Structures are given as C-alpha cells and as structure tokens.
Structure 1
Amino acid sequence: MPETPGSKPSVLFVCVHNAGRSQMAAAWLVHLAGDRVEVRSAGSDPGSEVNPAAVEAMAEVGVDISAETPKILTVDAVKESDVCVTMGCGDTCPVFPGKRYLDWKLDDPAGQGVASVRRIRDEIKARVEALIAEIDAKQEA
C-alpha cells in the first residue's frame, strides 16, 4: 500500500541469499530508525544461515543479528513495501507501479572475512542513514 501521511513507511531489503547485505541493512534501519519504519528483508535464493562474518561485524558495533534467518522473497513483501532496495539480485525482484526502487551496488560479503565485511557494513550504514534522512524529510513534507 502506498505511503500516506501519518502512516509508517516500509522498506524491503533484497539480496540473493538474504544472508549478508540485506540482513545488515535491515538491522541498521531498525537500529537507527527504531519503530519509525517498518523493515523487511528477503532473498531471491535464501541461504541456510546468516553469514557468520556479517553477524560478527554487526556485533562489533552493538547490533545483534545472530537470531535472524534468511527468508524467501515474496510478491506480497514487495507489494507491502514503499521502498525496495535491491543489492545484487538482478531482475528477480518483482516490480510494481508506484513503488520506489533503489539498487545499491555493494560487494557481496559471502566468503569474505570479517575485515572485508566491516567495510561493507560501514558502507551499508552510510546508505541507510541517507535513506532515513530521505524518509524523514518525506514524512515531514
């Protein structure tokens, strides 16, 4: 449903395995925006677990994603979101008129050590902070 004044905006983060980038992005949005934004994450081909290096990198900054599990991308998840942020999943995300789509080009943390994942984590945080600023500005308009 499209965002209406006074409603809570919703964001869906999508990557292939829903095990690294999208999990970190969703966790950052929850951590930084609290309950002001409804947050979802999913993958076009979900992995069996969240990337341990992503869990460790997020724990270093006080954000616990150890209990998260990869989820399959559904048409309903896209329909119910105002903003869909894709991260390397190509054309697998369904497109609906009236939705805002962002494609964040980010390195895939799969198979990388925590040192490399820290850089990805920090880049995601900066992008999420910018997204929050845009959402807040739109809510105030």
Structure 2
Amino acid sequence: MSDKPSVLFVCVHNAGRSQMAAGWLRHLAGDAVEVRSAGSEPADRINPVAVEAMREVGIDITDATPARLTWDTAEASDVIVTMGCGDACPVFPGKRYEDWSLTDPAGQPLEVVRRVRDDIRARVEELVGGLQRR
C-alpha cells in the first residue's frame, strides 16, 4: 500500500473531463499523488478536442484510454471526484467525495473545451493544496 494519496476522477464517458483532470493532476502534483480516471459508460476513445486543448498547455493525454469504473478502483482511492455521472457513480463509506459541475466537452468546439480545461485546472490546483495539508 502506498503512502501517497490516490485520486479517482469519474465522468460518464471517461473521454474528456476526467481525462483532462487526470492530466492536470499528473502535471501539477507529479509523483506525489496516484492518479486514476474512469467512466460509468466509457467511450471508445478519448475526445480529440480535449486532447488538443490539453496539448495547447503542454500536457499530452493522447495515450489515455477510457476505462470502466470498477468497485476495486473506487475502493482503493482516497478521493473520488465525480463529474456529471449522477447515480451511476457508486458511493463508498469513508471516502472523500467532490462533485464538480462542469460542462461536458463532448461535441463542443475548442473554445468551449478550453474554458472547461481552465476550470478543471483551477479545481485541481485547489485539490492538490488540500491533499498536501493531509
């Protein structure tokens, strides 16, 4: 078992918001945090507009693959951040939960996805600060 905190980002398709959040957390926290992401109904591939928006800020998420949310992944995470998956996201007693209300970037133009990306960055920065005070 690792001493570093683990964060799980969950959205429906695990193709946009949760992948961007995972990219930001890896970028901002480095190896200090174990980063996971998953979806309740994963897409076939990551959203190419999300990839482009992250590339613009120097973060490469092209290797990310949408993954199905599993009980084990959620149970093994210290913090679970949900993004619009509603009742599809399981609740585990004793876990820290945050629910981020974010625009779904699916089908959105790059300028909208940029705003989502920047909103996610601000939230991840706040999350990192909270994890460091544990």
Q: TM-score range by the shorter chain?
A: over 0.9
Mapped to 1, the partners of 2:25 and 2:6 lie a distance apart of: 11
1:97 to 86, 90, 93: 93
Q: Map of 1:1-141 to 2, 5 A cutoff?
A: 7-138=3-134
Letter in 2 for 1:137: R
Structure 1 unmatched runs, 5+? none
Q: Which amino acid aligns with 1:95?
A: V
The AA in structure 2 aligned to 1:13 is F
- Secondary structure of residue in 1 paired with 2:35: strand
1:33 partner SS: helix
How much has 1:125 moved relative to structure 2?
0.2
CA distance in 2, matches of 1:65, 1:38: 16
Q: TM-score, normalised by structure 1?
A: 0.93
* 1:65-113 C-alpha deviation (Å, 9 max, x unpaired): 0111100000001000000000000011111111011100000000001
Question: Between Structure 1 and Structure 2, how many residues are aligned?
Answer: 134
Q: 1:101 is aligned with what amino acid? A: Y
Secondary structure in structure 2 of the residue aligned to 1:48: coil
Provide the aligned C-alpha RMSD in A: 1.1
AA in 2 matched with 1:121: R
Secondary structure, counterpart of 1:24 in structure 2? helix
Q: Which runs of 5+ in 2 are unaligned?
A: none
Identity %, equivalent residues: 68
Q: Which has the larger radius of gyration?
A: 1
